[in-house]
């Protein structure tokens, strides 16, 4: 089918062999590509009930039918596996330039099976698969590992994704990183790559996907290129990036603070977008095929981190390292962000674990003392997590494990083992439904429903009737994930635009109802995967603290009844009851 190579590459890491599989059109007609194809493969090829860090787990890199076309926002790839953090379905997506290089290998997805006996890095192209020795780079931080692979291959045109020490040490929230700062962040895909003894993968090739109607995509590109950059959203992303959300959430009391005790941070201005622009030299930076340029290359101007440069920090990182841990200086958040990136750990989980440790050490003797705002102590904790040293060995297993080990399960904030990002579900009640039902645990991205609630499209406190709007967003963004498009194009690409894009790349002429039905089928696959892995429906909930405790500053809360009402409506509309 146009838009696809109709080919998946399977790589056996133990036997050092590979084979190609032809994928029939019927699979793409049913599930499209990206998330749709990868979830179909996961369900088909993964034996139920196995240890996510065993060689039998598979790790899938996937692109979509628009990858490496001219469509704005198409420079993203996805990674799919069974999560070592939740034991359930995992999807994660990253920008940067890697997606285009993966696409040029000529496969819709690349599936890694088994585990190498020795550290390797893979070179995957349209011509061959090479298994390079990586013993000399094993142990390296992410930036140096990426540089080393690039130097060794000496290709000007290569996309490289790597893991850091945390991935090697099977830390259950280890990430995969590309272009230094673009992360397959949540849920521990880096640990799965580490368990396979793969330090990194370099992709290159010359294959170009054929699309059904290049003229349709060209017209679409012209239209979006004309109106897109003038929109208020694009202008704001270019100037402020995601840090602008600090003000938006804090002003409505939805900025998780002091490990989920409050929804506002008194010192929010010091970690806001304005603080970033004041304290750093900031340059807008974009993935290929993007005018939004939400990325911010930030160089600290003064102080103990003067000269330190990263792309970021993103809003969710600012909340996890700033709000949750009461770190009140954007430069220190940049420092901690850099620390996490180098070690290869997810900033959202790392920050939440630091907050949990601070609260735990205040309540009882856990053999370690940490205080809010203690930046160097938090950095040291991250180092120990990544190396599994001391208390880090407990935290490396994730919050669920640490809570059990310290007998503090009532304190821990997570859904299905995954720590939530920076949107307070006691204020943004649709986010309660999002966290409870997302296929990868507490996740803000499946529906990005905070946007609907913060923008006033639907009142945040509304409960009854909310599931219908929520499903509209979730389905629409599921289609984004099957095409693998950037979330920040969600206001420009609505149902009509998806119909144009799908026709342009695949030739399929689908009505809105048919596109939405396709999204529903893909979500059903992910749900089926989780139920097969033993997930119980009762786990579609919030942690007890968020249901029982009110926010200390606003007194706002969400009751079990309110969540149940949203869940019942949601299940009924999804046909899950």
Residue ranges in contact with ligand SF4 by CB under 6 A: 73, 75, 95, 286-287, 290, 292-295, 486, 488
DSSP assignment letter at 228: G
Helix (H, G, I), strand (E, B) or coil at 380: helix
* Shortest separation between residue 345's beta carbon and ligand SF4, angstroms: 20
Nearer to ligand SF4, 209 or 296 (CB): 296
* Shortest separation between residue 95's beta carbon and ligand SF4, angstroms: 4
CB atoms closer than 10 angstroms to residue 19: 9
CA distance 169 to 385: 9
* Shortest separation between residue 184's beta carbon and ligand SF4, angstroms: 13
* Shortest separation between residue 485's beta carbon and ligand SF4, angstroms: 8
Residue 148 host element (H or E): helix 142-153
Nearer to ligand SF4, 94 or 379 (CB): 94
CA distance 79 to 176: 9
Alpha-carbon Rg for the chain in angstroms: 22
Nearer to ligand SF4, 199 or 285 (CB): 285
- Pairing of the two strands 120-124 and 198-203: parallel
CA distance 219 to 504: 10
CA distance 438 to 446: 7
Hey, which bits of 101-180 come out as E strands?
A: 109-113, 120-124, 129-133, 159-162, 176-178
Helices marked H in 110-157: 142-153
Nearer to ligand SF4, 422 or 543 (CB): 422
Nearer to ligand SF4, 58 or 454 (CB): 454
* Shortest separation between residue 445's beta carbon and ligand SF4, angstroms: 12
* Shortest separation between residue 403's beta carbon and ligand SF4, angstroms: 33
Nearer to ligand SF4, 287 or 432 (CB): 287
Which are the contacts of 144, defined by CB distance < 8 A and separation ≥ 6? 137
Nearer to ligand SF4, 76 or 104 (CB): 76
Helix (H, G, I), strand (E, B) or coil at 310: strand
CA distance 396 to 346: 11
* Shortest separation between residue 66's beta carbon and ligand SF4, angstroms: 12
Nearer to ligand SF4, 92 or 195 (CB): 92
CA distance 162 to 416: 27
Q: What residues does 280 pair with on adjacent strands?
A: 300
CA distance 332 to 354: 15
* Shortest separation between residue 126's beta carbon and ligand SF4, angstroms: 25
């Amino acid at each position: 089918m146009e838009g696809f190579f109709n080919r998946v590459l399977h790589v056996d890491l133990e036997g050092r062999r590979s084979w190609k599989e032809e994928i029939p059109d019927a699979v793409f007609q049913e599930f499209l590509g990206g998330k749709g194809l990868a979830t179909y493969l996961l369900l088909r090829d993964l034996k139920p009930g196995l240890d996510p860090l065993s060689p039998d787990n598979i790790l899938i890199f996937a692109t979509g039918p628009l990858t490496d076309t001219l469509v704005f926002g198409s420079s993203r790839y996805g990674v799919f596996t069974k999560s070592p953090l939740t034991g359930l379905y995992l999807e994660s997506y990253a920008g940067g330039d890697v997606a285009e290089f993966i696409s040029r290998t000529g496969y819709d997805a690349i599936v890694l099976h088994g585990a190498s006996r020795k550290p390797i890095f893979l070179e995957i192209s349209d011509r061959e698969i090479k298994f390079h020795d990586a013993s000399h780079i094993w142990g390296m931080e992410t930036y140096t590992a990426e540089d080393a692979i690039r130097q060794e291959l000496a290709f000007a045109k290569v996309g490289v994704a790597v893991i850091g020490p945390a991935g090697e040490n099977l830390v259950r929230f280890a990430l995969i990183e590309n272009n230094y700062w673009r992360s397959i962040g949540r849920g521990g895909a880096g640990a799965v790559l580490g368990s396979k003894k793969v330090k990194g993968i370099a992709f290159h090739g010359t294959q170009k996907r054929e699309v059904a109607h290049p003229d349709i995509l060209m017209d679409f590109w012209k239209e979006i290129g004309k109106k897109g950059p003038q929109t208020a959203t694009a202008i704001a992303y270019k100037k402020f990036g995601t840090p602008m959300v600090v003000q938006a959430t804090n002003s409505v009391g939805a900025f998780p603070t002091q490990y989920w005790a409050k929804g506002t941070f008194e010192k929010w201005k010091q970690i806001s977008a304005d603080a970033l622009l004041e304290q750093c030299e900031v340059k807008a930076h974009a993935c290929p095929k993007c005018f939004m340029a939400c990325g911010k290359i930030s160089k600290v101007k003064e102080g103990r981190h003067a000269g330190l440069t990263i792309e970021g920090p993103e809003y969710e990182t600012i909340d996890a390292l700033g709000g949750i841990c009461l770190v009140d200086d954007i430069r220190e958040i940049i420092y901690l962000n850099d620390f996490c990136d180098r070690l290869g750990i997810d900033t959202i989980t790392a920050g939440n674990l630091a907050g949990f440790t601070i609260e735990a050490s205040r309540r009882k003797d856990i053999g370690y003392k940490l205080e809010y705002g203690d930046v160097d102590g938090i950095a040291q904790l991250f180092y120990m997590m990544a190396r599994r040293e001391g208390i880090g060995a407990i935290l490396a297993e994730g919050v669920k494990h640490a809570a059990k080990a310290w007998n503090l399960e009532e304190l821990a904030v997570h859904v299905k083992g995954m720590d939530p990002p920076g949107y307070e579900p006691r204020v943004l009640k649709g986010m309660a439904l999002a966290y409870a039902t997302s296929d990868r645990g507490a996740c803000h991205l499946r529906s990005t429903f905070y946007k609907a609630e913060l923008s006033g499209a639907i009142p945040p406190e509304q409960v009854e009737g909310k599931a219908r709007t929520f499903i509209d967003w979730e389905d629409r963004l599921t289609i984004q994930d099957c095409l693998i498009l950037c979330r920040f194009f969600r206001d420009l690409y609505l149902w009509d635009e998806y119909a144009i894009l799908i026709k342009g790349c695949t030739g399929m002429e689908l009505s809105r109802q048919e596109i939405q039905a396709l999204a529903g089928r893909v979500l059903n696959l992910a749900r089926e995967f989780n139920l097969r892995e033993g997930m119980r429906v009762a786990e579609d909930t919030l942690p007890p603290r968020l249901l029982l405790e009110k926010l200390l500053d606003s007194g706002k809360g969400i009751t079990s009844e309110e969540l149940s009402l949203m869940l019942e409506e949601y299940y009924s509309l999804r046909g899950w009851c």
